[in-house]
């Protein structure tokens, strides 16, 4: 099978080998950190093997093929023709978020986020001594929406908006109307948009719209992306930022230069170039089918055996956001249920901010058999059965 889970124990994988330290148990099935248990595409494996075959691993340029691969991917997947000069290679999306905050805002400036949110968003704002502005998303009838009145109020206080698109952990794939409205409000209030679009290749409900393609957003947006989530190569730490505006780009580059990482990693460059190819696109189509079957399987199982746990509609990503509030447990009790009784390692919703209280995040980027085992363990724990 193309998408069988690969044995990862003992390989230094954070998801598997760091679970004991993080969750203080040795017997947990890890379904937390956002990487998958599948092998990277054969094209990526072959490109890495070929590059490793050359025995010198010195300082490496981001060559023409690297930039052309990114341009091809964006034209092919997002109908966006981007200029080579807009692309700034980087060493991870979280690195880019921190660089953007440091380069383009001042100490004390307001930075808006939408909670519940990927925790490094909050950390980046606070560790750079900026003011965290929380636009809490509305949750109703199994779906998250934007509190527009609050968004406009926070935009008047903000210098920057950290957009997560698609949104992690709620999995919302923002539609064109929502993106246009966010962009217009930011433009009218002189707010820069830093768009983390790392999950944009894995959208289940519609074609992803990069906010930077919108006329009102193009000159105020930095688009952050990487092949890491899509092709399961996060450990290679290759990302990039798309910055159309030359002044913003120059300011970002100046700050990035201060970090002191001017060169690329030869293996990371080879992997991105191979992933962003027709072969990579074919592999991604097959991955999407498998993930969507996994999502359907989890929804069906919960609906039949654990109706107290309601999955939010999964619009994007290989993550599922589970509404566990009907179990009538506080967050500490919820963690006890999942970790100690069901023996599962998931991300607690509360780790995504107070807005995530009562939820859990489940990574379904693994084999169907492991998912089935996990759900059975959860069923036993919830029902208080032995087995």
Cα–Cα dist 1/314, whole Å: 24
Q: Which two tokens stand for residue 1?
A: 């099978």
pLDDT, the chain, mean: 96
pLDDT for 261: 84
Instruction: Reply yes or no on whether the pLDDT at 386 is more than 60.
Output: no
Q: Do domains 14-41+280-380 and 56-277 have the same CATH topology?
A: no
For strand 192-196 and strand 158-164, is the pairing parallel, antiparallel, or unpaired? Answer: parallel
Is residue 352 pLDDT above 60, yes or no?
yes
Reported confidence tier of residue 20, pLDDT bands at 50, 70, 90: confident
DSSP code of residue 351: G
DSSP 106-142: -TT-EEEEEES--HHHHHHHHHTTPEEEEEEPEEETT
Alpha-carbon Rg of the chain, whole angstroms? 21
**What percent of the chain is modeled with pLDDT above 90?**
91
SS3 content of the chain, % helix, strand, coil (to 5): 45, 15, 35
Give pLDDT tens digits for 135-186.
999 998 889 999 999 999 999 999 999 999 999 999 999 999 999 999 999 9
Q: Which two tokens stand for residue 261?
A: 């990482």
244-266 confidence digits (pLDDT tens): 999 999 999 999 999 888 889 99
pLDDT, position 125: 98
Is 96 in contact with 248 (CB distance < 8 Å)?
no
Mean pLDDT of 119-128: 98
Average pLDDT over residues 50-61: 96
Cβ contact 96:124 at 8 Å? no
CB burial of residue 103 (10 Å; 0-12, 13-18, 19+): middle
pLDDT for 279: 98
Residues 6+ apart with CB under 8 A from 334: 324, 327, 348, 349, 358, 360
How much is the pLDDT for 328? Answer: 96
Confidence of residue 3 (pLDDT cuts 50, 70, 90): confident
* Sequence spans of domains, the chain: 14-41+280-380, 56-277
Which CATH architecture best describes the domain 56-277? 3-Layer(aba) Sandwich (3.40)
Which CATH code for domain 14-41+280-380?
3.90.1150.10
- pLDDT score recorded for residue 387: 36
pLDDT at 24: 82
pLDDT of residue 2: 78
Checking if the pLDDT of 385 tops 70, the result is no
């Amino acid at each position: 099978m193309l998408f069988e889970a690969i044995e990862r124990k003992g390989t230094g994988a954070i998801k598997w080998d760091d679970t004991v330290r993080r969750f203080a148990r040795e017997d947990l099935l890890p379904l937390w950190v956002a990487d998958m248990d599948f092998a990277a595409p054969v094209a990526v494996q072959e490109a890495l093997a070929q590059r490793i075959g050359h025995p010198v691993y010195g300082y490496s340029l981001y060559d023409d093929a690297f930039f052309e691969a990114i341009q091809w991917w964006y034209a092919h997947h997002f109908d966006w023709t981007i200029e080579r000069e807009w692309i700034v290679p980087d060493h991870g999306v979280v690195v880019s978020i921190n660089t953007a905050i440091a380069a383009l805002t001042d100490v004390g400036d307001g930075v808006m986020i939408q909670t519940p949110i990927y925790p490094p968003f909050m950390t980046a704002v606070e560790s750079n001594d900026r003011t965290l502005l929380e636009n809490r998303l509305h949750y109703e009838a199994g779906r998250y929406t934007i509190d527009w009145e609050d968004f406009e109020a926070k935009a008047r206080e903000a210098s920057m908006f950290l957009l997560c698109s698609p949104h992690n952990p709620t999995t919302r794939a923002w539609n064109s109307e929502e993106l246009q409205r966010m962009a217009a409000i930011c433009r009218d209030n002189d707010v820069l948009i830093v768009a983390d679009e790392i999950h944009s290749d894995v959208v289940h409900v519609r074609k992803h719209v990069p906010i930077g393609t919108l006329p009102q957003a193009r000159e105020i947006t930095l688009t952050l992306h990487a092949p890491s989530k899509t092709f399961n190569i996060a450990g290679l730490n290759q990302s990039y930022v798309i910055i159309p505006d030359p002044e913003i780009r120059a300011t970002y580059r100046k700050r990035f230069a201060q970090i002191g990482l001017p060169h690329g990693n030869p293996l990371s460059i080879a992997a991105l170039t191979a992933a962003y190819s027709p072969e990579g696109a074919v592999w991604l189509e097959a991955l999407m089918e498998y993930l969507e079957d996994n999502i359907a399987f989890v929804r069906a199982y919960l609906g039949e055996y654990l109706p107290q746990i309601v999955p939010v509609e999964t619009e994007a990503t290989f993550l599922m956001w589970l509404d566990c509030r009907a179990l009538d447990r506080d967050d500490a009790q919820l963690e006890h249920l999942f970790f100690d009784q069901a023996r599962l390692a998931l991300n607690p919703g509360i780790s995504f901010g107070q807005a995530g209280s009562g939820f859990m995040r489940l990574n379904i980027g693994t084999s169907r058999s492991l998912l089935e085992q996990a759900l059975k363990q959860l069923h036993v724990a919830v029902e208080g059965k032995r087995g």
